[in-house]
Amino acid sequence: MNDAADPLESFDDATLDRAFEALAGELKADAAAMDAEALRLHWLGRKQGRLKLISEAWLKSAPAEARRALGMRFNELKQRIEAAVEAPASAPSPARSAPGLDITLPGLVRAPGIPHPLLKTMQEIVEVFHNLGYSTSTGPEVETDFYNFEALNFPPNHPARDTQDTLVIANQQGRPTRERLLMRTHTSPVQIRTMIAQAPPVRIVIPGKVHRNDAADATHSPIFHQIEGLCVDTNITFSDLKGTLDHAMKALFGSSVKTRFFPSFFPFTEPSADVQISCIFCAGKGCRKCKQSGWIELLGCGMVDPAVFAAVTEQRTARGVAQRLLGEVNSAYDPAAYDPKRISGFAFGMGVERIAMMQYGVSDIGQFYSGDMRFLEQFA
């Protein structure tokens, strides 16, 4: 009974009984295999439904006296179809038991997370210094003027502060200048915090986020990341600084990399130097990346300025007085532990973004912060 318009040979009761029995069987099979909507469309569809096609064909060919009986049988069949559509067969077939589950479909793939390229570079740099016996220190991003500027030898109103314009926290005017809060412009305040808390020897690296009032362009961002280092002990000299940084650059960029030092100025180091490495793209021959010079400037460094040690000593003395007043006598806490006559030290700092841009050949710093998966997936 596949052909909708399969004609009937005669219209006697026996033939009609057989024909409608066959239709009922067909309906039962369909009800088991189809969902309600498909069943409704297949049998009751207004243009191509089985019921319409068959009833039209049979009624047309039926003699006038048989039409009434035939019509009644079609009515009965229609009621059966409607019942089947509204109450699908109680014994569900496997095909309908779990309509949402198709075990042949591919599974969901959840991509594993990876470290952000900036974090990866930061970890690589920190690791180099960990291998040299340095430990990691961190500090707050909201700092006081004292830790961010004054203790690092940027006196109030000194023009050197203009090089590190920052975002200040609102409603600080009522406070003394050194207590006013701002977003730190470098991770150097952690050097001061560490030296106040801990006597020499100190060997620390300080990774972290810093803020400056810089316009964003391809190589600048108002928020970026720095790693600073500080080493203080007896008999620390400039050659220790040179040896340490030369080793670190070779560990990061390969043993063939050369370093050279140029005089520079930072308020918190004296003498200060800029460090250049031989261009890793052209091995020093000269290319677009190094502006044909064969060298790339990568970090700043210098010997810790005695004025920084003086600020630390001032704070350590105040802390020592407070401890005595509170009766917390700590014989190990020597306020004069950072007397420049007894110790010396060096510090250095580098921008993580700048190094990551070199490592991965990224030309726009904004890519690191865009959250664009097409960019980030390349580092998986």
The site for Zn ion (CB under 5 A) is made up of: 279, 281-282, 287, 289-290
Q: Least Å distance between CB 295 and Zn ion?
A: 8
CB of 280 to Zn ion, least distance (A): 8
Q: Which residue is nearest to Zn ion (CB)?
A: 279
Residue 282 or 307 with smaller CB distance to Zn ion: 282
Contacts of 87 (CB under 8 A, 6+ apart): none
**Closest to Zn ion by CB, 282 or 362:** 282
Residue with smaller CB distance to Zn ion, 62 or 279:
279
Burial letters 61-89, b for 16+ CB under 10 A, else e: ebeeebeeebeebbeebeebbeebbeebe
What is 18-61 written as a DSSP string? Answer: HHHHHHHHHHHHHHHHS-HHHHHHHHH-TTT-HHHHHHHHHHHH
Question: Between residues 53 and 283, which has the closer beta carbon with respect to Zn ion?
Answer: 283
| Largest pairwise CA distance in the chain | 128
Comparison of 281 and 379: residue with beta carbon closer to Zn ion? 281
**CB nearer Zn ion, residue 230 or residue 290:** 290
CB of 290 to Zn ion, least distance (A): 3
Nearest residue (CB) to Zn ion, 288 versus 341: 288
C-beta closer to Zn ion: residue 223 or 282: 282
| 262: β partners | 274
* Smallest separation, CB 357 to Zn ion (Å): 14
- As a whole number of angstroms, the distance between CA 54 and CA 240 comes to 100
| Other beta carbons within 10 Å of 22 | 12
Say how far residue 268 (Cα) sits from the centre of its chain: 34
The conformation of residue 372, written as its DSSP 8-state character, comes to -
Alpha-carbon distance 309 to 344, whole Å? 9
Which amino acid is residue 332, in one-letter code? A
Query: Shortest approach of Zn ion to residue 285 CB, angstroms?
Result: 7
**Pick from 172, 113, 174, 116: nearest CA to 148:** 172
Q: Provide the minimum distance between the beta carbon of 118 and Zn ion in the complex, in angstroms, as a whole number.
A: 23
Q: How far is the CB of 119 from Zn ion (least distance, A)?
A: 27
* Rounded CA separation 177/157 (Å): 11
Distance CA 370, CA 115 (A): 15
350 token code pair: 């580098």
State which residue, 183 or 290, has the beta carbon closest to Zn ion.
290
Which phi and psi (to 5°) does residue 180 adopt? Answer: -65, 140
Rounded to the nearest 10°, the torsion over CA 264, 294, 366, 373 is -140
Nearest approach, Cβ of 365 to Zn ion (angstroms)? Answer: 20
CB 203 within 8 A of CB 231: yes
Residue carrying the six token digits 């401890």:
323
Q: How far is the CB of 208 from Zn ion (least distance, A)?
A: 30
